[in-house]
Each structure stands twice: as structure tokens, then as C-alpha cells.
Homo-oligomer: A and B are copies of this chain.
Amino acid sequence: MNDASRTNTRALPMPDLRGSFPGPFPASPHASDIEQHAVQWLHTFPLISSPRALGALSDITAQGMARTFPTADQNGLFLCADLFLWLTAFDDAHGEAAGARDPARLVRRISECVHLLAGHNDPPGESSAFVAALRDLLARFGERATPTQYLRLTAHLRDNLFGILWEAHHLDRPEHVTMHDYRAMRPHTVFVRTVMATAEVTLGYELTDSQRSSAAVRELETAVADLAGWINDLASYAKETADDGPSPLSLPTLLMRQHKCDLEEAFRLASHMCEKQATAARARITELAASKERPLIVHARAVESVASSYVWHIDHSRYQIP
């Protein structure tokens, strides 16, 4: 894609979320500690070979996590940051283009992780840095989480790995993906439900089953899950089309096809979808924060800050064209 169309991409309509998530977003005072820890953790578990990529990912993860859980203790922040680093680095190393080139190899890398997630810790002859790092993460979450929280988290991680696999199989053929498929899978590839699941572990609360299955909680989580994936799609569109490849597997691509419209109109439609979900999320946050049940109040605030971190992170340099 040439410079003129880059400029065009940047000028496309973007969602206006200032009404729902106005910012500035509160940030933990531990942001720089998280970054130092992240760099150290990635030294222990070398998941990223490029020093530049390592630095950028540590920075955005630290700043993002400081906004995801602004009131969390340092160890909780370190743990969630490491998990997010792991997911992102795994996706970068084995998913996306690498996964599309050799899906069977990606399946084998995931099978090693599924083995750990299913509770089988016996080490293979030699284990990769990703396997060793996942083992470290699961042990640390196992210490901090209740057994049920741990089950929920490892279920979400399976869904993330499956999402990475789903994406690798369809990266070069978005025409096979229906809008329904896409809406179902996108939250898994942006890891947002996993981040929401870590809130209970990190902040030390637990919803009851009836609270969790209430319409208010479910709709809040769905709205934030959609919002996180869609704004990520809009923010990363320019980067993903910078090499002039085929249309990315992304909301604007699917909207152009569905509505037989151009890119600008697709961005306008997508922005409207984002604003609608942001409004829905804000309404549910307000409703739950006014409840009398403390776990619901804590959860509403946690999901609010999760959403805020996604709203914040789309402006980060990771998504700018170099």
C-alpha cells in the first residue's frame, strides 16, 4: 500500500468513545515495575527474539496492564502482564502468518500447551520456552486462584489457542468466514475474556453462579468482548494492510463484503457498532455499580477498566505503521 492510501486509512472514520469511556484512565503506580519485570521474565523465558519487539511489547503490556487493573497489587499485575505477554508472543511466533503457512506445526505447538492446561505436567524430553513459560504461569495462577477460577482461566486459554488456530486457517481466506463466525471467534483472538477472567484472581473476589449468569453481567462482558476486538481491528487495519497483501481477516473486510460498500463506509459502520457496544457496556457498568452486592460492584469496575485498557491501547505505537 502506498503512502497516499496510508494517509487515507488514517483519515477513515473512527469510533468516538469519549461519551462512554472518556479517560484519562487511572493507571497503577507500578507501571514501570511491571515493565522491568516483563523484560526480566522474557529474559528467563526467551519468547521474543527481536530486542526491539521485546521492548515494544513490554512497554505496551506494562502500560496496558497498569490501566487494566489500576488498584491491583504488584504480584497480581506481574502475573497478568506475563500471561498477556505469553499470549501475544505465542500468537506472533506461531500464529498469524507462521500458522497460516504451516497449520499442522501450529497444532503441534498448541498440543503441548493443551497438555499442560489439562493438568499434565510431565515434561517432554525437551520443552520449548513457550511450554516452560506456560508451566510457570499456570503454577503461579494455581497458587493464587481458587480451583474454580483456575478451571475457568484454563478454559479461556484453550479458547485463545483455538482462536489463534482458527485465525491461522482463515487468514488468507476471509471469504469462508461468516459475520457470525467472526463475532464468535474475535473475542478469543484478542484475549479479552481471558483478561476479564483474571480480574477475579487478581482482585480477589468471586462472582456467585447466579451473578455470573445474570443478564447484566453477561451483556456487559459480551459488549466489552466485542468492543475490544473491533477497536483493535480498526486500529490495526492500516498496519495489517501496509504490505499491500490481501484484505485482512478483520471487521472492515467482512463489512465491505456484507454491505457491498467501500472501506470508508465499512469503517463508519464498524465505528457505529463499537459506539453501540461501548454505550451498552457503560449502561451495564452503571447498573451493576449501583447494586447492593459487593462482588457485582467490584466486577463492574474491573470490567470497566479492562475496557478502558483496550480503548487506551489502540493509540499505542504497536499499531502505528513503522
Task: Enumerate chain A interface residues (CB-CB to B < 8 A).
Answer: 103-104, 107-108, 110-112, 114-115, 117-118, 120, 124-125, 147-148, 151-152, 154-156, 158-159, 162, 165-166, 169-170, 173, 176-178, 180-181, 184-185, 188, 193, 209, 222
Q: How far is the CB of A303 from chain B (nearest CB, A)?
A: 16
Task: Establish whether residues A180 and B118, one from each chain, have CB atoms under 8 Å apart when the complex forms.
Answer: no
Q: A114-B159, A158-B158, A159-B114 are in contact. Are A108 and B151 (CB under 8 A)?
A: no
Q: Bound complex: CA of A154 vs CA of B158, how far in Å?
A: 11
Instruction: Decide: B155 and A120 in contact? CB cutoff 8 A.
Output: no
**A128 → chain B, closest Cβ, in Å?**
13
In the complex, which of the residues A162, A166, A178 has the most CB atoms of chain B within 10 Å of its own CB atom?
A162
Bound-complex Cα distance A265 to B40 (A): 50
Determine whether the beta carbon of A115 is less than 8 Å from that of B148: no
Residues of B within 8 A of A147 (CB): 148, 209
> A159 touching B104 by the CB < 8 A rule?
no
Chain B residues near A173: list those with CB within 8 A: 104
Q: How far is the CA of A185 from the CA of B113 in the complex (A)?
A: 11
A170 close to B104 (CB less than 8 A): yes
Write out the residue numbers on chain B whose beta carbons fall within 8 Å of the beta carbon of A114.
Answer: 159, 162, 184, 188
With a cutoff of 8 Å between Cβ atoms, the chain B residues found around residue A178 in the complex are: 124
Min CB distance A255 to B, Å, is: 17
**A169-B104 contact, Cβ under 8 Å, with A148-B147, A151-B148:** yes
Cα of A267 to Cα of B152 in the assembled complex, Å: 40
